[in-house]
Structure 1
Amino acid sequence: MDAQLIAFIGIAAGMVAMPGADFTVVVRSALASRRAGVACAVGVAGGLLVHTALAVAGLAAVLVAVPVLYRTLQIAGGVYVLWLGLRAVRSALRPLGGPLAIDGATAAPGVRRGLRQGFLTNVLNPKAPVLFLSLLPQFVPDGTAVLPRTLLLATIVVVLALIWFPVVALLVDRLGRWLRRPRATRAVEGVTGGALTALGATLLVQAPAH
């Protein structure tokens, strides 16, 4: 394995593991149920697959070159993440004696909802295509076939996500006995909701006016 590939794996692992909207939404889904958490984790990996495929195909360059497309994605992503955050905050503010409410539902979210939330949270992140577009070419050595190499790099990112996020979901589920206590649930909902709200608001504030 060449040195550049080893370096990329380290950088990609750090990117995937870095706490953000993906991490937060997986934790919230796993707090409701193991299946929902794992499904959400798979959804996040699916979103990464879309971003890496766009970067490999060069379509991410078009997104960056056309400001209105980038701004539209940025606003859509900000609105969605902000919506998730506000619903989590509302759930955290419910009475202690009330039923567990994740995303406004009294029942634990199912596999489809978890998968959808994970996918949309990641795929609507406007910074991801720019990141991949700028990162992947740095690890394609001179004289190397570009397409096979970028496909390999993209696959590494998706595989790392498929390892990391399910592990997070399973760990949260493992700690569920404590995390699902009413006060702990409110605390987790409040923290994750606040984080998502801040991330969504940041995306909207950073969206260019023109």
Structure 2
Amino acid sequence: MDAQLVAFAGVAAGMVAMPGADFAVVVRNALASRRAGVAWALGVAGGLVVHTALAVAGVAAVLAAVPTLFRDLQAAGGGYLLYLGYRALRSAARPLRDFGATAGDGDAAERGRGNGDGAERGQGNGDGEGRPAVGGSLRQGFLTNALNPKAPVTFLSVLPQFVPAGTPAMPRTLLLASVIVALALVWFPAVALLVDRLGRRLRRPRAARAIERGTGGALGVLGLVLLTEALLA
């Protein structure tokens, strides 16, 4: 058995499962509908594909070596997280009675019942006040993860630690990157499905509003941290 590979799988699982912006937005969208949550989760995994590919190719080293480029990407990521946080907080500001449309079971959301806005069919506004379109959730999940410039630098610093001496670096790092992506493809959809499973309770108006507020606040704080770091660097 490859002991280093097993150890890396444990480290990677901790990195993937660590609560953060990805986790928060997957939970929020899974409350809208099962398909939206899973689509967002797959988008997040797609963003990890970009980061691991950058790390394997060594492009992340450029981000670390060129502070201006890193700061620009960091500011863009922070701005996007602030935007998502604003949308969540704006949604949470709705009257409590308006959360009743999401208080039904997950199957109702899947069949497009509820407030009848048709967002699951791609006709909604996707702003968090209706049920987001699957394509929009997939795209935004990808952007939430892909716009984090710290991820490829983190992977670049971690992956080499698990490449045995004398082993060709490229095949090994590709294997390690595949492990990360595989874990993300399991973890984030599982989170979305679990949230949907518990949706009857979580979609109650007060619970839904609390989650919207918590998600919006968390995303806003993360966005501000990224922007502050970019401006003060």
The two structures have a TM-score, normalised by structure 2, of 0.87
Question: 1:153-200 CA deviation, whole Å, 9 max, x = no partner?
Answer: 000000000000000000011111111111111011011111111111
Structure 1: any 5+ residue segments left out of the alignment?
none
CA-CA distance at 1:98 after TM superposition:
2.3
CA-CA distance at 1:104 after TM superposition:
3.1
Report if the CA contact (8 A) 2:40-2:141 is conserved. Answer: yes
Counterparts of 2:37 and 2:97 in 1: how far apart (Å)? 24
Residue of 170, 181, 191 corresponding to 2:204? 181
1:158 match: secondary structure: helix
Counterparts of 1:71 and 1:10 in 2: how far apart (Å)? 30
Counterparts of 2:94 and 2:232 in 1: how far apart (Å)? 36
Aligned to 1:167: 190
Aligned to 1:207: 230
Counterparts of 1:150 and 1:105 in 2: how far apart (Å)? 38
Counterparts of 1:18 and 1:153 in 2: how far apart (Å)? 18
Report if the CA contact (8 A) 1:25-1:117 is conserved. Answer: no
Aligned to 1:10: 10
Counterparts of 1:129 and 1:104 in 2: how far apart (Å)? 29
- In the alignment, does 2:88 pair up with 1:88? yes
Aligned to 2:109: none
Report if the CA contact (8 A) 1:36-1:111 is conserved. Answer: yes
Counterparts of 2:222 and 2:76 in 1: how far apart (Å)? 13
Which stretch shows the higher mean deviation, 12-21 or 57-66?
57-66
The RMSD of aligned alpha carbons is 1.5
1:152 match: secondary structure: helix
Counterparts of 2:73 and 2:173 in 1: how far apart (Å)? 24
- Alignment-mate amino acid for residue 10 of structure 1: G
Aligned to 1:147: 170
Counterparts of 1:123 and 1:197 in 2: how far apart (Å)? 17
- Change in 2 beyond 3 A, CA 1:105/1:13: closer
2:16 match: secondary structure: helix
Aligned to 2:108: none
Counterparts of 1:191 and 1:155 in 2: how far apart (Å)? 32
- In the alignment, does 2:49 pair up with 1:49? yes
CA-CA distance at 1:53 after TM superposition:
0.3
Counterparts of 2:200 and 2:171 in 1: how far apart (Å)? 46
Aligned to 1:119: 142
Report if the CA contact (8 A) 1:27-1:169 is conserved. Answer: yes
Report if the CA contact (8 A) 1:46-1:119 is conserved. Answer: yes
Which stretch shows the higher mean deviation, 172-181 or 18-27?
172-181
CA-CA distance at 1:107 after TM superposition:
2.5
Counterparts of 2:126 and 2:203 in 1: how far apart (Å)? 15
Counterparts of 2:228 and 2:184 in 1: how far apart (Å)? 28
Residue of 148, 157, 164 corresponding to 2:180? 157
CA-CA distance at 1:105 after TM superposition:
4.7
Residue of 120, 123, 134 corresponding to 2:157? 134
2:98 match: secondary structure: coil
Structure 2: any 5+ residue segments left out of the alignment?
103-124
2:19 match: secondary structure: coil
1:202 match: secondary structure: helix
